[in-house]
Amino acid sequence: MVAAIFPQSIVQWSDRVDELSTVFANDPNSIAAEVGAIESALGVMPTVEKAPIIGTSTTYPSVDARLSDMVAGSHIPVMSLSSPSQMIDNWQSAGSNYGEWNIYTNVDYDPFSMYNGADVTIPADGWYIVSIAQTWDWWSTGYHGHWFWVDDQYYRHHHWFWDFPGNYEGGYWYRSTAEQRPATTHIDWQGVLKQGQRLRSLSENGCPHTPHQTYNMSFAISFVRSVAPGTPSSALF
């Protein structure tokens, strides 16, 4: 059996000439060996993406098309939601330590249908990056914040406290009605999430003004890589 030199090297070949060249058995044997080596390197059905992150297999017109689509990241789940504003009540007087779930009204980009009508449902097991942000109207005292929840447990939270020097009417943070400086709360998290888990953001109004406006709300998520079957979700903190 002739041994192929591919993929360690590229076979050298000289054209044979009719009625001049002597064709030895090694000639077609070496060609067959090299073809077999190339087929082994490509694998069976190389134009088919057999195990995409989401959905069933995809057949491409060529290996080149499959590789180009892979490099473009077309199979990587990503999503971006936003909402112009939401009024958040202060529930402290009612004995609650929390607030109201954010409802994202704008689906900015969602090629894998991760939007569930209000927030996010994870489409496949994997390592994800999550980024959530929103801005709050100014107030003189108290705090504002929001929480990142996965199913029925919170994973992160960020609070902005208004009680600091200079935060009063005429101070450097509130020079006039036209120069009120807002505050932005944001959460960045990454880790393992599982298919079917729900991701939510909760707004908390801890200032005496109620309801209070939060605006420029955004929720973005991107899949980074797959994880081994049975990998648990990342720790909460």
79-99 residue pLDDT tens: 999 999 999 998 765 545 578
- Domain total in the chain: 1
Q: What is residue 18's predicted lDDT score, i.e. its pLDDT?
A: 85
Which of 76-85, 119-128, 163-172 is predicted with the least confidence, judged by mean pLDDT?
163-172
For residue 186, being part of any structural domain is answered with yes
Peptide bond into 165 cis (omega under 30): no
For residue 193, being part of any structural domain is answered with yes
* Cβ atoms of 141 and 106 closer than 8 Å: no
For residue 32, being part of any structural domain is answered with no
CA angle 194, 199, 201 (to 5 degrees): 160
For residue 161, being part of any structural domain is answered with yes
Whole-number Å distance between alpha carbons of 69 and 62: 11
For residue 35, being part of any structural domain is answered with no
Average confidence score pLDDT of the chain = 89
Phi and psi of 234, rounded to 5°?
-65, 155
For residue 10, being part of any structural domain is answered with no
214-230 residue pLDDT tens: 999 999 999 999 999 88
The range of the structural domain enclosing residue 195 comes to 78-225
Whole-number Å distance between alpha carbons of 198 and 152: 9
Rg of the Cα trace of the chain? 29
For residue 212, being part of any structural domain is answered with yes
Q: Locate tokens 């009063």: which residue?
A: 168
7-65 residue pLDDT tens: 889 888 888 888 887 887 787 888 888 888 888 888 999 989 888 888 888 899 999 99
Confidence category of residue 237, pLDDT binned at 50, 70, 90: very low
Q: Residue 125's domain is classified under what CATH number?
A: 2.60.120.40
For residue 16, being part of any structural domain is answered with no
